[in-house]
Structure 1
Amino acid sequence: MRNLMPLLVLMLPALLQASSLSAVPATQTASANAAKLLSVARAGERTVAVGDHGVVLLSDDHGGHFRQATSVPLATPLTGVSFVDARQGWAVGHWGAILATTDGGDTWQVQRLSSAEDRPLFAVHFFNPQQGVAVGLWSLVLTTDDGGKHWTEQRLEAPPGSKRADLNLMGLFADGEGCLYATAERGQLLRSDDQGKHWRYVDTGYSGTLWTGAVLGDGSLLVGGQRGTLLHGSADGARWQRVSLQSKSSVTAIDVSGQTVIAVGLDGLIVRSDDGGQSFHEQPSGDGVSLTATLLNGDGSPIVFSRRGVVSRH
């Protein structure tokens, strides 16, 4: 897969062919570890990864071994996951699906499902067990104040220079002060200071899609997107500087743990910093498989996921 191909090919297969919703549960399969995985989160000490066909993988040894979740009620692609502690978590995906778990990801229940249209959700973030936000296709923003029992769609204003709010919102990340960011198309970064109810646009100066982002240890922002784009910005989003990369492969996921920062992307791209994001060096994975998600362990070793499943601990 080349970096000129939009990442939506990985995340949105056959939207136009989806004519009806078949709410069947995910099946147990010996090949689950080879499923396309799109998002990962930490549930206490457990690693939880979600992906295609409703696959949920769990690891209790920091990515050394994975097993499939016991019960997932939908076999639709899952594109985002978030946990607030070792037991409570949420996953989102196609058909606007939102699933919840109270046992660390072993079993899941449906909180929301839209059978009228396949308007996928791409990312979810919970601040605490009650307040959460999910975002997706065509500026879809949903918020909850009761742990997901009820979800409310929030209206977005049109971005500067546009007549309507129709950007795809691709990722969510937050700082420790309750500020939430959403990465989007056209180089836009959205910021909310009230748990997703109101947003303002932050123009990064880039015109392509931003897939992912993170807050660094010093409070500054790092966002990644198409064509090897990695941008380092101030907390208010006023100043942006491009991180120089040799690769032109799209950046799909970023994680931060202390002074260690890792970004992964298409064509096996791995970019790492050990000084809090002041400098980066590239570490190609070797086989060129498109990498889709990553999570840093406490010792700085990353667990890496791809369109072919779990890659390895690097």
Structure 2
Amino acid sequence: MKLRPLTPLLLVLMAPMVGCTKEENKNTSSTSDGSGAWAVGEDATMVRLNPEGDVWYYPLEIEGDLLAIACKGEATGVAVGDDGVVLRTDDSGESWKRIDVGTRARLRSVILSGTSPAYIAGDGIVLRSDDDGHTFTPVPDAEGDFTSVTTTAKGTSAWLTTASGEIWQLDGEALRPVFTTSEGPLSGIAVTPDGASLVAVGAGGLVLRSDDGGAAWTSVTTPTRRDLHAVRISRTADLVVAVGAAGVVLRLDDALGASAEELLEPGLALRALHLSLDGHGQAVGDHGVVLHSHDFGRQWEALDLGLEEALFGLDDLHGEPHL
């Protein structure tokens, strides 16, 4: 499969913001339905795509990298990054508010549940929210450099990965390691909405899977040795899609089997992935790479945004369930 570049997208610049604030006499309008993909990355890069192919840039009045974004419904998003930065929007990006979470740590991952709990993970810190991500408090005994976090639809439990190859489970305030691998760092984790099945990915094509709620983990043989950075699992646990170094897209499909295809040059990587229940999704990575799929990650098209900055985080504001 070869990537097919799309027609260059219409660029609409938005005014500088701590939130995103409009300047007079500027074309800063955005779609009102909140739909589209959001990506964050290097040097406080934030962009939004809508289904029509338009893209909005959000110049932020912050420094450092934004490393992850999580969205809920059609209006709410939370982005995290360097120096303890946490940004929140409740109006589809028209304005952003910085939340003080009491840390200067590098925050690498954020997840919002379908109810009130939300979680942030970073270097030596885990933060929990019980008010839908409006405020966060530190979780005791967070001893590790946490690289990713996931949670169930209800949000009552969360699982995290670390740079030292550990998987931790968080139930309320109880945070404990449940598995350690000697095969290298872990960088991504995903769970089915009911919490029954989980998958974690990491260095050298490592895929770990649990089908008993995280009690036991097994290594899955895959057709790639590339480092994997992000992963999604379907709600029925019959499809796993992961992305990583050299633009590899790994699919573990109960119906079609395992496959791996490299879509980028060896020196580039895909860093984040989103797939919706309807099969639409995006993957983003180094040098502003954005790929789009309409068939659960079997085929991908390139979107030319004219970006040079690496993109590290991705999610959707569309109101539809995630894969």
Q: TM-score, normalised by structure 2?
A: 0.71
Is residue 154 of structure 1 aligned with residue 143 of structure 2? Answer: no
Question: Match for 2:72 among 72, 84, 89?
Answer: 84
Amino acid at match of 2:82: H
How many angstroms apart in 1 are the aligned matches of 2:193 and 2:131?
Answer: 30
Is residue 193 of structure 1 aligned with residue 171 of structure 2? Answer: yes
Is residue 73 of structure 1 aligned with residue 61 of structure 2? Answer: yes
The structure-2 alpha-carbon separation of the partners of 1:241 and 1:57, relative to structure 1 and needing over 3 Å to count, comes to same
Q: TM-score, normalised by structure 1?
A: 0.73
Aligned match of 1:31: none
Instruction: Name whichever of 200-209 and 88-97 sits farther off.
Output: 200-209
Aligned to 1:192, the other structure's residue is in SS state strand
Aligned match of 1:143: 128
Question: Match for 2:189 among 213, 219, 224?
Answer: 213
For structure 1, list consecutive stretches of 5 or more residues without a partner in the other structure: 1-23, 28-42, 158-164
Is residue 264 of structure 1 aligned with residue 264 of structure 2? Answer: no
Is residue 239 of structure 1 aligned with residue 216 of structure 2? Answer: yes
Deviation at 1:54, TM superposition (A): 1.4
1:220/1:235 contact within 8 Å kept: yes
Deviation at 1:310, TM superposition (A): 3.1
Deviation at 1:300, TM superposition (A): 2.3
How many angstroms apart in 2 are the aligned matches of 1:282 and 1:292?
Answer: 16
Deviation at 1:132, TM superposition (A): 2.2
**Structure 2 matches for 1:92-241, cutoff 5 A?**
92-112=80-100, 118-127=104-113, 130-138=116-124, 140-156=125-141, 165=143, 167-178=144-155, 179-194=157-172, 197-216=173-192, 219-241=196-218
2:101/2:136 contact within 8 Å kept: no
Aligned match of 1:48: 38
Question: Match for 1:58 among 44, 48, 66?
Answer: 48
Aligned match of 2:226: 249
Amino acid at match of 1:248: R
1:204/1:237 contact within 8 Å kept: no
Amino acid at match of 2:190: A
Aligned to 2:262, the other structure's residue is in SS state coil
The structure-2 alpha-carbon separation of the partners of 1:65 and 1:247, relative to structure 1 and needing over 3 Å to count, comes to farther
How many angstroms apart in 2 are the aligned matches of 1:83 and 1:122?
Answer: 15
Deviation at 1:47, TM superposition (A): 1.3
How many angstroms apart in 2 are the aligned matches of 1:147 and 1:127?
Answer: 8
Deviation at 1:263, TM superposition (A): 0.3
Deviation at 1:234, TM superposition (A): 2.6
Instruction: Name whichever of 49-58 and 142-151 sits farther off.
Output: 142-151
- For residues 26-52 of structure 1, give each alpha carbon's deviation from its aligned partner in whole angstroms, at most 9, with x where no partner exists: 99xxxxxxxxxxxxxxx9642111111
Aligned to 2:43, the other structure's residue is in SS state helix
1:48/1:105 contact within 8 Å kept: no
How many angstroms apart in 1 are the aligned matches of 2:121 and 2:233?
Answer: 22
Deviation at 1:255, TM superposition (A): 1.9
Deviation at 1:130, TM superposition (A): 4.7
Deviation at 1:312, TM superposition (A): 2.0
Aligned match of 2:261: 283
Instruction: Name whichever of 142-151 and 181-190 sits farther off.
Output: 142-151
How many angstroms apart in 1 are the aligned matches of 2:213 and 2:234?
Answer: 21
Deviation at 1:207, TM superposition (A): 4.6
Amino acid at match of 1:68: Y
The structure-2 alpha-carbon separation of the partners of 1:50 and 1:84, relative to structure 1 and needing over 3 Å to count, comes to same
Deviation at 1:184, TM superposition (A): 1.1
Aligned to 1:270, the other structure's residue is in SS state strand
2:69/2:79 contact within 8 Å kept: yes
Aligned to 1:112, the other structure's residue is in SS state coil
Aligned to 1:227, the other structure's residue is in SS state helix
The structure-2 alpha-carbon separation of the partners of 1:149 and 1:233, relative to structure 1 and needing over 3 Å to count, comes to closer
Deviation at 1:96, TM superposition (A): 0.6
Deviation at 1:241, TM superposition (A): 2.4
Is residue 273 of structure 1 aligned with residue 252 of structure 2? Answer: yes
Identity of aligned residues (%): 25
| Cα-Cα RMSD | 3.0
2:184/2:202 contact within 8 Å kept: yes
Aligned match of 1:292: 271
2:19/2:95 contact within 8 Å kept: no
How many angstroms apart in 1 are the aligned matches of 2:264 and 2:79?
Answer: 31
Deviation at 1:58, TM superposition (A): 1.0
Amino acid at match of 1:264: V
For structure 2, list consecutive stretches of 5 or more residues without a partner in the other structure: 1-16, 21-32, 293-299, 301-323
State the aligned residue count.
Answer: 261
How many angstroms apart in 1 are the aligned matches of 2:87 and 2:153?
Answer: 25
How many angstroms apart in 2 are the aligned matches of 1:172 and 1:217?
Answer: 14
